[in-house]
Amino acid sequence: MAQEMGQIQIHSENIFPIIKRWLYSDRDIFIRELVSNGIDAITKLRRIASMGEVDLPEDEALEIHVAVDAEHGTLSFSDNGIGMTGEEVRKYLTQVAFSSAEDFLKHYKGTDEGSQIIGHFGLGFYSAFMVAKSVTVETLSWQSGAEAVLWKCDGDIDYTMEPSQRTQRGTTVTLVMDDDSADLLSVAKIREELVKYCSFLPYPIYLEDRNAPQEEDKKDKTPLPEDHDADACQDETCACHQEHVPAAPAPINDTHPLWMKKPSDCTEEEYRAFYHRVFTDFQEPLFWVHLNADYPIRLQGILYFPRISNQMQTIEGKIKLYNNQVYVADNVQEVIPEYLMMLKGVIDCPDLPLNVSRSALQTDREVQKIPAYIARKVADRLISMDKTDRESYEKYWNDIRPFILYGCLRDEKFYERMQEHLIFGLAGGGFTNLTDYLAKAEETHKNTVYYTSDPQAQAGYLETFARHDLQVLVMDSPLDIPFVQFLESKHEGVTFARVDAVLPPQAKSDAEVNAEDGLLLEKAFRRATGREHLRVRMEALADADTAAVIQLNEQMRRWQEMGMFSTHDRKMAAEMLDRQLELVLNAASPVVQKLAAAEKKEEGSADSLCCQVFDLARLGAGLMNPDDLMAFVHRSQEMLAGQVERME
């Protein structure tokens, strides 16, 4: 074939600047595109071989080779796939966006191999010009009698095409890197990108360093003694008997990823090993959901529930999206429900309607069904665990609770599926659900649900509830306050109350409360503490040892904790909440009775003791700021010193 010259058929002479700047968001994407083209070429070859159109030896290894030659400034991508004829080169390389994949799919429509073709737009090849100042394609078609072709383009609309001396079927694309892309001539960098984009492609991918020492150079050059007779040597371990056989290189990819297998064929060890390898997480996953659907859209994948803390800000999930085993992106919002972004996993959707750069989804009605399917499968897995392995469900609950609560808040259908399987930790240990809790509370506190947001800080209150055998739910994560509001809206008549917001009926006694003493002490505590608006109430409590407790306004505290106030209003909100504090004095306490008696004898005589009672109540509620705490400590020391003097 004589040398031929021509022009790439495009409508704009500025196509290459457009490709360089706008077609792809990431410069390294050309690696994914060129490797994917090689995978397509092999897939096509396998298809025509299965139809008897070509005789393909059973033992022939079909593979991709990526070679780095830093010395000469080149990167090459080779495959032994279907190859191209001169006519196909003209058709597919000189007409931008004329896809050989589209032609092949039309010809072999409905076949399994056809459905695995990755490229559809014919633009992937041109991503090479994002980083290369020239690109050479050397190819030989599978067709009998085909001539090898060498095509070259220097990054503008001109190209050359001429005969090649290539004798092996397949294609090699060689990039002469431009000056701005010299960093991509690093073997380590190319390996990193191949792992990112191509870790699970279906044919082996090998990375070569053209500048690395050859195997012959790596041999042990230590000479044998001059008088050593190799023919007479009987030592089988001697170097003279050892033939140097270089180890076979390992592909960088796993050609049979775990998500492509049937769940019944996967072992627990394989699931865990896959998790550690893909996400480099040293912790063990809690459990996983294996996805495998043909309708409404083909989808396979594995979602892992990682071990996390209850703090939402520490949750950093990653769900990798693949299209025909080619990496597309992380955490694609159109596919994965927002509340499941905290999971880790992989999802492979061969039918995704991607844009031309395969970097984003196009609007599609079928795509909108994917999040619902994934959410349903996750809910089914959780429900199954609750029904068949309640012990594990409770064991994992504190870790998976943020996922579930957030899902219920964001997705009504998810809540409807999960509502009977929402469990809550109990302050005294164990778990319960809302239905069982309310059934037990029917005879005691009916539709009020008691909870604690901090069992340690609210230990004094919890002791009161425990003394009367009242269950208290532990709701100590940032999501619990909005979730409390959510549950109240779903259960008419049910009210949630934190343990420091109410006194349970059982904590009160039938003893009579002296209203006069109550008014007297209200005045005394306001004066002693300097809080003119302090709310004071007298109650006769069953526990005479408790002098006083602080109660907080439930709704005001919720608003503050949920950030319902602007930055400007936060100080004012804190002051408002402080004014909503209520000091409940125990009329049955000897301390309170003596305070009332002292106040009747001489106004102000018990101010110091009033302050001490108030601060002890605040300390028990976790409401002491540093200044108040220091004042409390100094007052306590003075009172101790006075007590010691009286003892002398």
Q: Which is nearest to 337 in space by CA: 291, 295, 294?
A: 291
Label residue 572 by pLDDT band (50, 70, 90).
low
Q: Which residues, at least 6 apart from 579, have a Cβ–Cβ distance to it below 8 Å?
A: 533
Query: Which of 121-135, 149-163, 392-406, 448-462 has the lowest average pLDDT?
Result: 121-135
**N- to C-terminal Cα distance for the chain?**
120
| pLDDT digit string, tens, across residues 260-277 | 999 999 999 999 999 999
**Given this model, what pLDDT does residue 208 score?**
95
Structure tokens at 9: 């058929």
Cα dihedral 62, 68, 72, 76 sign = positive
Q: What is the dihedral of CA 612, 615, 620, 625, to 10 degrees?
A: -150
Provide, rounded to the nearest whole percent, the portion of the chain with pLDDT above 70: 81
Label residue 104 by pLDDT band (50, 70, 90).
very low
- Cα 64 to chain center, whole Å? 32
Residue 516 has pLDDT above 70, yes or no: yes
**Given this model, what pLDDT does residue 109 score?**
52
Comparison of pLDDT for 500 and 107, the residue scoring more:
500
d(CA 175, CA 137): 9
Residue 99 has pLDDT above 50, yes or no: no
| pLDDT digit string, tens, across residues 35-54 | 999 999 999 999 999 888 88
Cβ atoms of residues 319 and 345 within 8 Å:
yes
Q: CA triplet 205, 113, 294: central angle to 5 degrees?
A: 105
Q: Which range is most confident: 187-201, 343-357, 597-611?
A: 187-201
Q: Which residues, at least 6 apart from 495, have a Cβ–Cβ distance to it below 8 Å?
A: 447, 448, 449, 488
d(CA 522, CA 534): 8
| pLDDT digit string, tens, across residues 377-414 | 999 999 999 999 999 999 999 888 988 999 999 999 99
> What's the average model confidence in pLDDT over 336-349?
88
Residue 423 has pLDDT above 70, yes or no: yes
Comparison of pLDDT for 333 and 477, the residue scoring more:
477
The pairing of strands 318-323 and 326-330 is antiparallel
Label residue 119 by pLDDT band (50, 70, 90).
very low
Label residue 102 by pLDDT band (50, 70, 90).
very low
Instruction: Note the helical H segments in 97-218.
Output: 100-107, 112-115, 187-198, 215-218
| pLDDT digit string, tens, across residues 179-221 | 989 899 999 999 999 999 999 999 999 999 999 886 555 555 5
The DSSP symbol for 284 reads P
Percent of the chain as helix, strand, coil, to the nearest 5: 40, 20, 40
Provide, rounded to the nearest whole percent, the portion of the chain with pLDDT above 90: 43
Residue 558 has pLDDT above 60, yes or no: yes
| pTM score, whole prediction | 0.75
Helix axes 607-620, 515-529, angle to 10 degrees: 90
> What's the average model confidence in pLDDT over 154-165?
88
**Given this model, what pLDDT does residue 603 score?**
86
Comparison of pLDDT for 237 and 427, the residue scoring more:
427
Structure tokens at 529: 């503490």
**Given this model, what pLDDT does residue 479 score?**
87
Instruction: State whether residue 478 is helix, strand or coil.
Output: coil
Residue 621 has pLDDT above 60, yes or no: yes
> What's the average model confidence in pLDDT over 247-272?
91
d(CA 559, CA 552): 12
* Residue appearing with tokens 């996400």: 279
> What's the average model confidence in pLDDT over 91-119?
52
**Mean pLDDT, the chain, integer:** 83
Give the C-alpha distances (Å, rounded to integers) separating 111 from 188, 261, 314, 319, 618: 38, 20, 46, 30, 74
> What's the average model confidence in pLDDT over 147-169?
91
**Given this model, what pLDDT does residue 108 score?**
45
461: β partners: none
Residue 251 has pLDDT above 50, yes or no: yes
Residue 350 has pLDDT above 70, yes or no: yes
Residue 111 has pLDDT above 70, yes or no: no
**Given this model, what pLDDT does residue 20 score?**
57
Q: Which is nearest to 316 in space by CA: 341, 333, 280?
A: 341
Structure tokens at 203: 């044919």
Cβ atoms of residues 447 and 493 within 8 Å:
yes
Instruction: State whether residue 291 is helix, strand or coil.
Output: strand
d(CA 388, CA 385): 5
Q: What does 1-39 look like in DSSP terms, one character per residue?
A: ---EEEE-B-S-TTHHHHIIIII-SSTTHHHHHHHHHHH
**Given this model, what pLDDT does residue 120 score?**
40
Query: Which of 47-56, 228-237, 359-368, 372-381 has the lowest average pLDDT?
Result: 359-368
d(CA 524, CA 610): 8
**Given this model, what pLDDT does residue 628 score?**
84
How many Cβ atoms sit within 10 Å of the Cβ of residue 311?
A: 10
**Given this model, what pLDDT does residue 15 score?**
56
**Given this model, what pLDDT does residue 196 score?**
92
> What's the average model confidence in pLDDT over 152-162?
87
Residue type, 234: Q
**Given this model, what pLDDT does residue 140 score?**
96
Query: Which of 76-90, 125-139, 350-364 has the lowest average pLDDT?
Result: 350-364
d(CA 209, CA 194): 14
**Given this model, what pLDDT does residue 209 score?**
94
Neighbour-count burial of 620, counting CB atoms closer than 10 A to its CB (0-12 exposed, 13-18 middle, 19+ buried) = buried
Q: Which residues, at least 6 apart from 327, have a Cβ–Cβ distance to it below 8 Å?
A: 32, 196, 197, 198, 199, 200, 320, 321
Q: Which domains does the chain have, with CATH numbers?
A: 4-209 (3.30.565.10), 258-375 (3.30.230.80), 393-498 (3.40.50.11260), 511-552+565-647 (1.20.120.790)
**Given this model, what pLDDT does residue 155 score?**
77
Cβ atoms of residues 47 and 113 within 8 Å:
yes
> What's the average model confidence in pLDDT over 531-552?
88
The DSSP symbol for 263 reads G
Comparison of pLDDT for 24 and 128, the residue scoring more:
128
**Given this model, what pLDDT does residue 125 score?**
84
Residue 11 has pLDDT above 50, yes or no: no
Query: Which of 140-154, 194-208, 379-393, 612-626 has the lowest average pLDDT?
Result: 612-626
Q: Which is nearest to 90 in space by CA: 132, 13, 153, 155?
A: 153
